[in-house]
Chain A
């Protein structure tokens, strides 16, 4: 029975393809693929139906299907195109088989349904797996990229390092910040570390808690932590929340924090132009 059905379907693949193409093109109007050019849409449909028939013909060996799916994923076609297409194919094929049979009782009908189901299901499973595999791959790559960006430590001068934080701080990132901070302080032999939170959108109690812990840990290994980049609205919410950041110095901007850091390490910025002028006026003064 399955073999006979298979033969019928393969032999009449032209008719089924045509029905399928008609239906899928009709569906397109209200569709997600409306931005794709007509010719590309048409050739892809043609290729899709060929791949489906090849798969049925070879009883599930779907090497061509892999290639086809990979190309669709690379071009960014939606998964719903594939699932819609296969569902339409199932409907069209069953309609066709039923129209060929003279009399169909319920038993026969359910047998035909399950046979066609057996052809289509492995294709759907394979394609969905391939799609979700590609998404998972993308997500894991992005997570790695995010982790690399997570907590950089920049040594700007002898004994002074800066850690700029951008984006949301979750538990995982907070751990990373703490580790990088302590490791960096030891490695660069820093006396002062500036933590810049200009790019942190929300400072709630958890974020504050992590920052306080990090600063405390830095203090324990003998360095000073300065929290910089506190925007006015963040300052107000910190006060409203009742968080005590009094244990370490805080500054509104990185620039002010850096000046404080220089003072703490007994240095200062000297403007060369002005100091030359001053020297000259001193000489002139002494001549008078």
Chain B
């Protein structure tokens, strides 16, 4: 059972569309309200990063399954400037935009699986999964 869908991020209000879609999918998969809020917040962070740094990109959703466990996989990808120093952005409090700098490390803590692939000048792809408990 793999359903795939995606939302394009081009303007600020697309962030709302992306996280609403994620919340709906999470609800259908049987996530509790706390995990729904976690997923929605994580999507919000990822989509905002796309909007802030890459201007446009895409959030894709997949349902995944392993050993009787279901989960929601969220892939945020863009062809933006990429991340120069991966270890730095995973530090709490580091931000190039004057924000709180809690975005990516926060997403890592909100979700169960987290992976960043980024090439400066080419773009960034972040894959994250949350399992239903």
On A, residues with C-beta under 8 Å from B are 168, 170-171, 201-206, 208-209, 212, 232-234, 236-237, 240-243
B55, CB-defined interface residue at 8 Å: no
Let me know if B37 and A170 touch, CB within 8 A: no
> Which of these binds chain A: B65-73, B101-109, B113-121?
B101-109
Report whether over half of chain A's contact residues are helix, strand or loop; otherwise say mixed. helix
Contacts of A201 in B (CB 8 A): 40
Taking a contact as CB atoms closer than 8 A, the residue among B33, B38, B48, B100 that contacts A240 in the complex is: B38
Q: Report if A205-B38 is in contact (Cβ < 8 Å); known contacts: A171-B12, A241-B109, A242-B109.
A: no
The contact size tier of chain B is: 20 to 34
Let me know if A202 and B100 touch, CB within 8 A: no
Give the nearest-CB partner of A168 in chain B. Answer: B16
Q: Report if A202-B41 is in contact (Cβ < 8 Å); known contacts: A170-B12, A209-B100, A242-B102.
A: yes
Let me know if A237 and B48 touch, CB within 8 A: no
Taking a contact as CB atoms closer than 8 A, the residue among B13, B33, B34, B41 that contacts A204 in the complex is: B41
Give the nearest-CB partner of B52 in chain A. Answer: A206
Taking a contact as CB atoms closer than 8 A, the residue among B38, B92, B100 that contacts A237 in the complex is: B38
Cα A240 to Cα B114 in complex, Å, equals: 14
Let me know if A204 and B48 touch, CB within 8 A: yes
Give the nearest-CB partner of B104 in chain A. Answer: A205
Let me know if B110 and A240 touch, CB within 8 A: yes
Let me know if B109 and A205 touch, CB within 8 A: no
Let me know if B110 and A209 touch, CB within 8 A: no
| B130: min CB distance to chain A, Å | 12
Taking a contact as CB atoms closer than 8 A, the residue among B12, B16, B103 that contacts A205 in the complex is: B103
Closest 7 pairs between A and B when the two form their complex, measured CB to CB: A241-B106, A233-B37, A204-B44, A233-B34, A237-B41, A240-B109, A205-B100
B36, CB-defined interface residue at 8 Å: yes
